[in-house]
Amino acid sequence: MQAEIVMPKMGESIQEGKVLRWMKKVGDKIQKDETILEISTDKVDSEIPSPVGGILVKILVKEQETVPVGTVIALVESDVNSRVDTSTTVQLSAPAATHERPAGAAVPAIVVSVAAGGKDERNAKRGGRFYSPLVRSIAQKEQIPEQELDRIDGTGANGRVTKHDILEYLNRRGVTGVPSAGRGDAGTAKIDMADLARKYPPPNYRVAAMDNVQRRMAEHMVRSVATSPHVAAIDEVDVTAIVAFRSREAERFEKQEGFKLTYTPFFADAVVCALKEFPIVNASVEGDAIIYKTSINLGIAVASPTGLLVPVIRNAGERSFLVIARAINDIAVRTRSKKLMPDEVLGGTFSITNYGVFGNIIGIPIINQPQVAILGVGAIKKRPMVLTDEAGNDAIAVRSMTYLTLSFDHRIIDGSIGGQFLGRIRWYLEHFDFSKVA
């Protein structure tokens, strides 16, 4: 009996995915929950486990092809003793055109169904070009006529227009009033890779195209700088007490929790406390309106194999220190092992990036839109500092110090608010309540 493997729905906002790499080839035996392929969305790259064991009979979607959620991408024969034809790998000229599930159908993380003759709902082709139901609905809502839709450059398989393509087109059309033909994701002219290879020949050069996550990150960063007038404030913080506590309690904590105690939860806890006092820093801007968020959804930047990602800890303002520490460890492990779900990088209201892990002491991070501020944490270094006691006497002592950088959106956060907010983070770190870690 053959089971269908479909392009999984990795989150509510995800409508399509790109097959990056098949870990198995046709004819290979597969164990249940064994990784079968790696896919990419516009948010993250993820390794997908097989929901059934058996033999991979057919691969229906090639590597580097993008198809809508629900598309049948492979067939697995669950009866390993049956005689099956594994001699052919199906290549689709128009991915998802003949293997796409009905538009709007609910699709869990991965769907398995017995392969049988069912009715496929197929999206109409007009002018010889395929458009997914999602792209059609966006075009209809935005009143894009057929002739204009046909002029949009597509980055999907065979030049297919994706959701990202049409949204980028609308964004640029709204700003410039002209179509986006010939423009790339990051606002730069599209480059012909063959031309580049001729311009930069080996062995002196190596030309490589950005991968999916890199292109999305480039676009996001360019948009952020264009959207928000960035201002930065820098403060130095004495974290000697935190360093001493961590050194003293590290072994106990690891035995109790099963993972190492890092400095990140301390910074996260201080940020959450300060955000409760300065709700405007937890807001966003839409036009000339300020949107205040009632929940603190804390983004933690993590270096993944494919680039920097910012998974989100939701409702961090209602969580204890230990719960936040566990959540930080969990998202870090899953980000690095490509187990993160796309929706887990959405909905953040404030972000923290720790470039100190690489030994950098100061950095100026770019705001993670649509947020209005981001905190950068530098490396902790021992330095001689002048300390003043209550009597006004000065003394020099060796202290563990770090620099914190706050980049903020000057449209709604001025220097006074930004400085006070950063000062409160410093205060909570220098007066940390260690009973929270017990």
Instruction: Cite the active site residues.
Output: 410, 414
Q: With CA atoms as reference, report the closest residue to 48 among 78, 27, 18.
A: 18
C-alpha 287/C-alpha 200 separation (Å) is 44
70/107 Cα distance (integer angstroms): 6
> What's the CA angle centered on 432, arms 401 and 231, to 5 degrees?
55
Query: Contact 236/429 with Cβ under 8 angstroms?
Result: no
First to last CA, the chain: 54
**Exposure pattern of 331-355 as b/e (b: 16+ CB <10 Å)?**
bbebbeebbbbbbbbbebbbbbbbb
Q: Residue 9: helix, strand or coil by DSSP?
A: coil
Tokens of 134: 């999602």
292 and 283 Cβ atoms separated by less than 8 Å? yes
* Two tokens, residue 305: 């194999």
From the list 377, 134, 369, 405, the residue with the least C-alpha distance to 262 is 377
Per the CB < 8 A criterion, the answer to whether 77 and 52 are in contact is no
Amino acid identity at 382: K
Closest CA to 261 of 278, 241, 247: 247
